[in-house]
């Protein structure tokens, strides 16, 4: 595999890692908020500042970006792992459907 | 009036995004290289998802002030469904963006990466469909008041 192809593959794989990690991190932050503050309450949600959503969005995006960069470095140094990791990404993507749906419903 | 127009636009973009996100999932499922038209489909599907999300963020502050309280008053379940919709929508955008970058950058021989991109698009499409269903239900319960 050419060096440029290895780099492109690593970036492509890191992008998928970002896509998978970002929503999981977002929901982890939400679960932490719920566990700290108690079950969801209509009055609490109405009085929540608008910035809480933006903070969650920003923090999740930042962490996902960081993990994607780490994934890029790892895969750049070990390109032979790309195929096996891609299979794991496929299964992880499919598993995210019920997981995220349940988390979003359980912890609104 | 403008808020109701933007609300309607946001809803329509959301439905368009949900439908169009299935297209890249089908195109990429066998890992084949993308043609020019396929690349356009990938870019457009992702753009629709990002635009729908951006539209929601744009009207979010007004929605909080003018609608949310009345929504919870009308139906607590619908109010919580709005929150659920919000959380799932972020997942849709993150997955769509990641899948788009992967699909467009994956080298010719990297069929496995394009298959991973297809799986991510499929997940985004299913979640987007859920977001649309929840959004439609919430909008049916309570939307922006007339004259806004």
Confidence check: pLDDT of B52 > 80: yes
Q: Does B17 have pLDDT greater than 70?
A: yes
How much is the ipTM here? 0.93
Q: What is the pTM of this model?
A: 0.94
Question: For an interface test with A, which of B114, B119, B126, B131 has the most A Cβ atoms less than 10 Å from its Cβ?
Answer: B119
What is the distance in angstroms between the Cα of A22 and the nearest Cα belonging to chain B?
6
User: By the 8 A CB rule, do B67 and B143 touch?
Assistant: yes
Query: How does pLDDT run across B29-46, given as a tens digit for each residue?
Result: 999 999 999 999 999 999
Asked if B98 lies within 8 A of A17 by C-beta distance, the reply is: yes
The reported pLDDT for the residue numbered B147 is 77
Render pLDDT for A34-69 as a digit per residue (tens, 0 to 9): 888 888 888 988 888 888 899 999 999 999 999 999
Rounded Cα distance, A58 and A74, in Å = 24
Residue A38's pLDDT is what?
84
Residues B7 and B73: their CA atoms lie apart, in Å, by 20
Q: Which residues of B touch A19 (CB under 8 A)?
A: 94-99, 102, 120, 124
What is the per-residue pLDDT for A4? 87
* 3-state DSSP of A20-68: HHHHHHHHHHHHHHHHHHCCCCHHHHHHCCCHHHHHHHHHHHHHHHHHH
Q: Which of B64, B68, B117 sits opposite A16 (nearest CB)?
A: B117
């Amino acid at each position: 595999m050419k060096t440029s192809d290895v780099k492109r593959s690593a970036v492509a794989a890191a992008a998928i890692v970002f896509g998978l990690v970002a929503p999981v991190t977002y929901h982890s932050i939400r679960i932490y908020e719920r566990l700290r503050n108690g079950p969801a309450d209509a009055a609490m949600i109405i009085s929540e500042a608008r910035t809480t959503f933006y903070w969650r969005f920003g923090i999740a995006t930042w962490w996902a970006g960081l993990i994607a960069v780490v994934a890029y470095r790892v895969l750049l140094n070990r390109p032979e792992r790309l195929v096996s990791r891609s299979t794991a990404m496929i299964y992880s993507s499919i598993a995210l459907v019920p997981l995220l749906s349940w988390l979003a419903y359980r912890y609104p | 009036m403008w808020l109701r127009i933007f609300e309607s636009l946001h809803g329509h973009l959301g439905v368009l995004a949900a439908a169009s996100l299935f297209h890249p999932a089908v195109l990429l499922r066998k890992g084949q290289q993308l043609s020019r038209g396929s690349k356009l489909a990938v870019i457009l599907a992702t753009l629709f998802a990002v635009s729908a999300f951006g539209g929601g963020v744009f009207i979010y502050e007004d929605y909080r002030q003018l609608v949310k309280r009345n929504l919870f008053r009308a139906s607590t379940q619908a109010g919580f469904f709005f929150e659920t919709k919000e959380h799932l929508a972020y997942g849709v955008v993150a997955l769509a963006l990641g899948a788009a970058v992967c699909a467009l950058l994956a080298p010719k021989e990297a069929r496995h990466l394009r298959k991973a991109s297809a799986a991510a698009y499929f997940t985004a499409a299913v979640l987007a469909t859920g977001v649309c269903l929840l959004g439609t239900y919430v909008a049916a319960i309570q939307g922006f008041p007339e004259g806004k």
